[in-house]
C-alpha cells in the first residue's frame, strides 16, 4: 500500500462519496420495482459502514450504483464532488479498476491461479511494473496472514483463507473504497468473525473506506455506522460498538 493510504484516518474525514435522491427502478412488465428509492447517503474516507437488511431490500443495488457497476434511473452518485453519470463507460471502468476494491460472498477467485497470482491480477490490469506488483502483493499477503500459503490454489484453501485472499486482492490496487457484498455468507461464525476483525484492522491501518452490505448481525458489530435498509429506503443510522 502506498503512503497516502497509510495516513491516519482522522486526517481524511472528507465525504468523498455522496448520493443525492438516488433512485433505481426496475420494470417488470407493467410493474415498477424500486430497488433504490431517493436515497441520500455520504461516506467519508476511512469510514467502516455496514448496511443491513433482508433479501431484496436494496443492499446490492446500492453497492452496484456506488461502485459504478450500474447507473441510477434518476438521482446521482458523486465521487469527490463530481457526478459519475457524466463519466464515459471507459472512465467508469477506470474508477472500478483504480479506486474501488470488491469483495464477494462467493470469493470469485480464479481457480487455476495461486493465491499470489489472484492477488496480483488487478495490478496486471493496471499495467503496474513488476517491482510494485511484488512489493504490494507480498505486503497484503502478510497483512492477511497468508504469506506461507501464497503458492496454493483456491481449491487447496479453506473458505476463510479464500476470503482473506479476496480481501488482499480488493486492497492491492490501493483503492479508496472497498465494497463488500455479504462477505461472511459462506463462512461459519468463528471464521466470519476472524474475517471481520481482519477487515476492520485493514480499514484502520490503511484508511480505506469499507461499505459492507449484509444480513449477518455479527458484521454490524464492527461498524462505525450501521444503516438499515428496507424497500430501497435507508431506515436507521446507529453508531457502531467496536
Note the pLDDT tens digit of each residue in 49-65. Answer: 999 988 888 898 999 99
pTM, to two decimals: 0.85
Average the pLDDT over 131-156 and give the result.
92
Does residue 107 surpass a pLDDT of 90?
no
Mean pLDDT of the chain: 87
Picking from 54, 83, 100, 17, the residue whose alpha carbon sits closest to that of residue 213 is: 54
Predicted confidence at residue 15, as pLDDT, reads 63
The stretches of the chain forming alpha helices (DSSP H) are: 59-66, 89-98, 115-125, 130-143, 159-171, 189-206, 217-220
Predicted confidence at residue 73, as pLDDT, reads 95
- Cell readout for 237 is 443510522
Predicted confidence at residue 198, as pLDDT, reads 87
pLDDT band at 14 (very low <50, low <70, confident <90, very high): low
Average the pLDDT over 94-104 and give the result.
90
Neighbour order of strands in the sheet with 233-239: 100-104, 177-181, 209-214, 48-52, 225-230, 233-239
Predicted confidence at residue 192, as pLDDT, reads 86
- Write the CB contacts of 117 (distance below 8 Å, at least 6 apart in sequence): 110
CB 133 within 8 A of CB 140: no
Does residue 12 surpass a pLDDT of 60?
no
Picking from 105, 75, 106, 79, the residue whose alpha carbon sits closest to that of residue 92 is: 79
Picking from 40, 30, 33, the residue whose alpha carbon sits closest to that of residue 65 is: 40
Pick the CATH number of 9-236 from 3.40.640.10, 3.10.180.10, 1.20.1250.20, 3.40.50.300: 3.40.50.300
Predicted confidence at residue 11, as pLDDT, reads 44
Neighbour order of strands in the sheet with 31-44: 31-44, 15-28, 74-79, 82-83
pLDDT winner (highest mean) among 12-16, 158-162, 217-221: 158-162
Does residue 209 surpass a pLDDT of 60?
yes
Picking from 159, 16, 164, the residue whose alpha carbon sits closest to that of residue 99 is: 16
pLDDT band at 104 (very low <50, low <70, confident <90, very high): confident
Picking from 18, 26, 37, the residue whose alpha carbon sits closest to that of residue 232 is: 37
Does residue 106 surpass a pLDDT of 70?
yes
Picking from 242, 178, 188, 177, the residue whose alpha carbon sits closest to that of residue 216 is: 188
Amino acid at each position: 500500500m502506498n503512503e497516502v493510504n497509510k495516513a491516519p484516518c482522522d486526517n481524511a474525514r472528507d465525504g468523498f462519496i455522496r448520493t443525492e435522491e438516488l433512485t433505481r427502478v426496475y420494470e417488470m412488465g407493467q410493474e415498477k420495482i424500486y430497488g433504490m428509492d431517493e436515497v441520500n447517503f455520504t461516506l467519508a474516507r476511512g469510514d467502516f459502514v455496514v448496511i443491513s437488511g433482508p433479501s431484496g431490500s436494496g443492499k446490492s443495488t446500492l453497492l452496484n450504483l456506488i461502485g459504478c457497476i450500474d447507473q441510477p434511473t434518476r438521482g446521482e452518485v458523486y465521487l469527490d464532488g463530481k457526478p459519475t453519470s457524466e463519466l464515459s463507460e471507459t472512465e467508469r471502468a477506470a474508477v472500478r479498476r483504480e479506486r474501488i476494491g470488491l469483495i464477494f460472498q462467493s470469493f470469485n477467485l480464479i481457480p487455476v491461479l495461486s493465491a499470489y497470482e489472484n492477488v496480483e491480477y488487478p495490478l496486471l490490469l493496471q499495467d503496474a511494473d513488476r517491482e510494485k506488483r511484488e512489493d504490494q502483493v507480498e505486503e497484503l499477503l502478510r497483512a492477511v496472514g497468508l504469506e506461507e500459503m501464497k503458492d496454493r490454489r483456491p481449491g487447496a484453501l479453506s473458505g476463510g483463507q479464500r476470503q482473506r485472499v479476496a480481501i488482499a486482492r480488493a486492497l492491492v490496487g490501493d483503492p479508496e473504497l472497498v465494497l463488500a457484498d455479504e462477505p461472511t455468507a459462506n463462512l461459519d461464525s468463528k471464521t466470519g468473525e476472524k474475517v471481520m476483525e481482519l477487515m476492520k484492522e485493514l480499514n484502520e491501518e490503511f484508511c480505506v473506506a469499507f461499505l459492507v452490505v449484509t444480513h449477518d448481525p455479527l458484521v454490524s458489530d464492527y461498524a462505525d455506522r450501521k444503516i438499515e435498509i428496507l424497500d430501497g429506503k435507508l431506515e436507521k443510522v446507529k453508531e457502531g460498538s467496536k
